[in-house]
Amino acid sequence: MDPSHFVVYVDYTLEHTPTIVEFFASLELAVESAKRCRQEAEVYAIPATCGRAEPEPLWGTVGRPTVAPAPAAVPAPAPAAVPAPAAAPAPAPAATLPPMIGIRGKKGAGKDTLAAEICACFPAFETRKWATKLREAVAIITDIPAECTVSDADKEVQLGGRVYGALDLYTRFLMAAMHVLGGREITADIPARMFTILTGKSPRVETVVLPMTVGRLLQLLGTECFRDVAGPFVWVDALMEPWVDAGRPPTLVADTRFPNESAAVRDAGGVIILVRRAAAVRADGRADEHASECALDDERADFVFDNDGSVADLRAAFLDAWPAILALAAQRRPAGRIA
């Protein structure tokens, strides 16, 4: 699809046909938002009961967006102050590494710490995140750089102090949807649902705020606004398609949170590691019951590491399990749609 041209659909149901005023108000909002994006827009009104099919997660299929592979992250050096109790093995060639390792765990458990230690031992690993496109969408909406939405402190930043014009915010939501979904058709219900979920108000108001933290925005935008509306494979596709295009390099994914993300890692011939830490709780001490934190609670990981000691202890535990990790990965072959 020509990136300078997109199609906006305004849905209605047979049970609630909009009045002329409501209908043309929807059209006016869609077209005005398109103009603000400097895009050419076609606007159609079609019944929601026509049942447009949900796109399937066909990685690499013609018609799906092609995304340039993310650059390999600079490996984090191993801690110098405390020597690791176990010596790191000699660097392994990429061909002998598992194609993918997914790391899961609660907030603060040490997922990124373990990923950094693995990269220090095996520099041939690349690091990717399911949430890379999500953070870029947050940057479009808030003007906060994507790299400033990663740490726990970043996620506690309050967004309620900024007042947006309603049309400005609606346009930002539309631009974020275009960035994430690429060549897919963008229906008007996606930015409209974003507006309602994230502000609690109708787009017809004049001004609005985002009454939440950066972390809460990441949760709601990623799950309720994109997974639940655009389809559950939106973030899986955003990572797996460029990974396949790049030749399937050995990759660590340290933010695995949903069953289809875990399944994608295993379908790629990889393994799932769970990092646990007793002190991994929210700043306010309450349990986080959002789906992004709990969806894998009942799923068994391939390997489990308790991170209640030092970084050196975590590194040693991983190296002790490394032969078993290699053995399990060697038994797995690409399956499903990734085969």
pLDDT in tens, 60-72: 332 333 334 445 5
Give the pLDDT score at 190. Answer: 83
Average pLDDT over residues 206-232: 92
> Strand order of the sheet with strand 186-187?
40-47, 5-12, 186-187
pLDDT of 45: 38
For residue 88, is pLDDT > 60? Answer: no
Both 141 and 34 in one domain: the answer is yes
Q: Is residue 243 part of a domain?
A: no
Residue 14 lies in a domain: yes
Q: What percent of the chain has pLDDT over 70?
A: 67
Beta strands in 13-110 (DSSP E): 40-47, 100-104
The 3-state DSSP class for residue 148 equals helix
Q: Does position 19 have pLDDT exceeding 90, yes or no? A: no
pLDDT at residue 252 is higher than 90? yes
Same domain, 138 and 40: yes
Classify residue 65: in a domain, yes or no: no
- Same domain, yes or no, for 215 and 269? no
- Residue 74 falls within a domain, yes or no? no
The one-letter amino acid at 251: T
Which residue segment(s) compose the domain that 268 sits in? 94-125+250-338
34 vs 269, residue with greater confidence: 269
Domain boundary among 230, 265, 293: 230
The reply to whether 143 and 219 lie within a common domain is yes
- Other Cβ atoms less than 10 A from the Cβ of 207: the count is 11
**What is the model's pLDDT at position 50?**
38
Distance CA 163, CA 339 (A): 48
- If asked whether residues 107 and 140 sit together in one domain, one would say no
pLDDT score at 331: 92
For residue 186, pLDDT over 90 is answered with no
Contacts 24+ apart (CB under 8 A), 286-289: 288/106, 288/107
Examine the domain organization and report whether 328 and 273 are in the same domain. Answer: yes
Residue 73 belongs to some domain of the structure: no
Which two structure tokens, joined as six digits, stand for 233?
A: 């494979």
The reported pLDDT for the residue numbered 93 is 57
pTM score = 0.69
Are residue 220 and residue 277 in the same domain, yes or no?
Answer: no
pLDDT, residue 231, reads 87
The answer as to whether 301 is a domain residue is: yes
Judge contact between 125 and 97, C-beta under 8 A. Answer: yes
Mean pLDDT: which of 57-61, 108-112, 315-319 is highest? 315-319
Q: Is the pLDDT of residue 164 over 60?
A: yes
Domain end residue (candidates: 196, 230, 264): 230
In a domain, 54, yes or no: no
Backbone region of residue 269 per phi and psi (left: phi > 0; alpha: psi in -120 to 50; beta: other values): left
pLDDT (average), residues 5-12: 45
CATH number at residue 294: 3.40.50.300
Burial of 210 (0-12, 13-18, 19+ CB in 10 A): buried
pLDDT at 175 > cutoff 90? yes
List, for residues 97-116, the tens digit of each pLDDT value: 999 999 999 888 999 999 99
Q: Is residue 76 in a domain?
A: no
- Domain limit, last residue, from 174, 201, 230: 230
Q: pLDDT tens digits for 264-290?
A: 999 999 999 999 988 655 555 555 667
Q: How confident is the model at residue 75 (pLDDT cuts 50, 70, 90)?
A: low
Same domain for 196 and 258, yes or no, is no
Q: Which of 55-59, 228-232, 251-255, 290-294 has the highest mean pLDDT?
A: 251-255
Question: Percentage of the chain surpassing pLDDT 90?
Answer: 52
Same domain membership, residue 308 and residue 176: no
Residues 256 and 314 in one domain: yes
- Indicate the number of domains in the chain: 2
Average pLDDT, the chain: 78
> Are 115 and 137 contained in the same domain?
no
Pair 137, 114 in one domain:
no
Say yes or no to pLDDT of 26 above 80: no
Extended beta strands in 176-229, E state:
186-187, 207-208
pLDDT at 297: 81
Q: Do 119 and 88 meet the contact criterion of CB atoms below 8 Å apart?
A: no
